[in-house]
Amino acid sequence: MTETISPAASLAERIEWLIVNSWPDEVPQKETNVEIAEAVVAGTGVEMSGTTVWKLRTGRQENPQFRTLTALAVFFGVPIGYFGFPGEAAPIDDDLTHRALLRELRAGAIRPDVLRALIGLSPGTRHLLDEIVLAAAAADRRGRA
């Protein structure tokens, strides 16, 4: 399941989140940094190398050119502010999380019948399930780290 991104996420974390969770539906998913760069170039016309993508994803380039960020914003369909200050990015993060959730629903990774069942639960039970899901997500992140 798609996880949300922290409001305090670094540029590298934000770019990695977009690659993993918000890849454009109309573009076949790419695996390598070179393939990702080629997809961005094809989609935007802005030159970008696989090395640039690697540096951005690993945090080795924290102050990229404005045109590079603009190309990434256009390719992923986010405002340029997504890469900026955390306060500016929070509403964008919520929108991206909603889009990623819809993508997961369409892919069958989240069962629609489970979501419908959640609607009928009492607020107290929903709160309990919220806490269980958040604890499971935290444990999953720790397990992957």
Owner of token pair 């979501």: 115
Q: Give the per-residue pLDDT at 48.
A: 95
| CB neighbourhood size of 134 (10 A) | 10
Q: Give the per-residue pLDDT at 1.
A: 47
**Model confidence pLDDT, tens digit, residues 32-68:** 999 999 999 999 999 999 999 999 999 998 889 999 9
Please calculate the CA angle 131-12-65 and round it to the nearest 5 degrees. 145
In a domain, 100, yes or no: yes
Q: How many domains does the chain have?
A: 1
| CB neighbourhood size of 24 (10 A) | 13
In a domain, 121, yes or no: no
In a domain, 135, yes or no: no
In CATH, what number is assigned to the domain containing residue 22?
A: 1.10.260.40
Q: Give the per-residue pLDDT at 115.
A: 76
**Model confidence pLDDT, tens digit, residues 79-113:** 888 887 555 555 666 667 777 777 777 777 778 78
- The mean pLDDT value of the chain amounts to 83
| CB neighbourhood size of 23 (10 A) | 18
Look up the pTM and report it: 0.62
In a domain, 93, yes or no: yes
In a domain, 35, yes or no: yes
In a domain, 126, yes or no: no
In a domain, 2, yes or no: no
In a domain, 140, yes or no: no
Task: State yes or no: pLDDT of 70 exceeds 50.
Answer: yes
For residue 80, the enclosing domain spans: 11-110
